[in-house]
Amino acid sequence: MTVTIAPFDTEHQPHIRAIREAVFIQEQGVLPELEFDGLDASAMQVLAVVDGQYVGTGRMLDDGHIGRIAILRHYRGLGLGAKVVQALIAEATRLSYPRVYLGAQTHAVDFYAKLGFTPYGDEFMDAGIPHLSMEKSLI
């Protein structure tokens, strides 16, 4: 299995959209208007590619907010989510961001903690799913 984490460009937008539709809209029941919030064009995005198949994605806004981490069901458990997050952290480090932060679905808090994120604040609901704010200092 060959895994590549590739930066987004406009030709990849249909693949990113398809992955997010499968994971967030079909699996988790997120409304399309919440999932596709109009911020993608200004976000740094990455794709996880396994043996030529687009299987995962994530994005980072210009303030260091990481989100939309999604791996297709059959490719979970292979470490791809961590690779996507690490690629976004590497870009934030390159850009000298002081921190990155995200809203983790509560079932994923341990996943992000293993990547160095620390929870803060109270649990909140986003798209009907419980979340917890988390951050990672880069300085």
Enter the tokens of residue 29.
């029941």
Question: Domains in the chain and their CATH numbers?
Answer: 3-137 (3.40.630.30)
- Model confidence pLDDT, tens digit, residues 116-136: 999 999 999 998 899 999 999
Q: Is the pLDDT of residue 7 over 80?
A: no
Give the separation between CA 5 and CA 37, rounded to whole angstroms: 23
Q: HEC profile for 51-119? A: CCEEEEEEEECCCCEEEEEEECHHHCCCCHHHHHHHHHHHHHHHCCCCEEEEEEEHHHHHHHHHCCCEE
Confidence (pTM): 0.92
Read off the pLDDT band of 10 (50, 70, 90).
confident
